[in-house]
Amino acid sequence: MRIPDLWPTSQPPTPRLETAGRQLLADRALAALLDLLLCYVLFVAPLVYIALLVSPQFGALGPVAVAISLALLIPINLTYTFLFEWKYSRTPGKVARSLMVTTEAGEPCTLRASAVRNLCRYIDGLGIPPLIYAVGLLTAGVSSTGQRVGDRAADTVVVRSGTTTDANK
């Protein structure tokens, strides 16, 4: 898969609602990791580089500088995920794993649904290292449709994507 293939098309593919469930948890986790990596490489790393250019003392902070860069990743990733899911019903990570976010009725993810499900990531992400995201994994694991707290609050499900209806793809 090439990097341009990860960019969502303007028209979401057909959702396969029957695929909603716990069996997608591993793919959802891989998609989330890919999105985190993309956010770090595209947004956080350049900010850290600029900080080092502007203030060489930033590098002298050592572990504190690493903690700052990782702390930046949280709001950047939430904004990235919110925007992609609202506009395209999927992120590049979800595209790579053939997943998409849809309403329980099979409609594309809305502005409200994307905002609610992503704000609830703060709840889903609760846990103690190494069990970060324990709440999200537990709630998705016990739900027959694989819904985490954010999905339940927003009335969304993550499903496999079918064929795209976009002529560009």
Place of tokens 């990531």: 121
CA dist 137 → 11, 62, 146 (Å)? 30, 32, 9
Do the beta carbons of residue 85 and residue 77 sit within 8 Å? no
pTM listed for this prediction? 0.85
Q: What are phi and psi of 53, to 5 degrees?
A: -70, -45
d(CA 40, CA 34): 10
Write the single-letter amino acid at 160: R
pLDDT of 129: 66
The two tokens of residue 25 are 């948890």
pLDDT for residue 97 is more than 90:
yes
Tell me what percent of the residues of the chain surpass a pLDDT of 90: 60
pLDDT digits (tens, 9 = 90+) for 8-63: 877 778 999 999 999 999 999 999 999 999 999 999 889 888 888 888 888 788 88
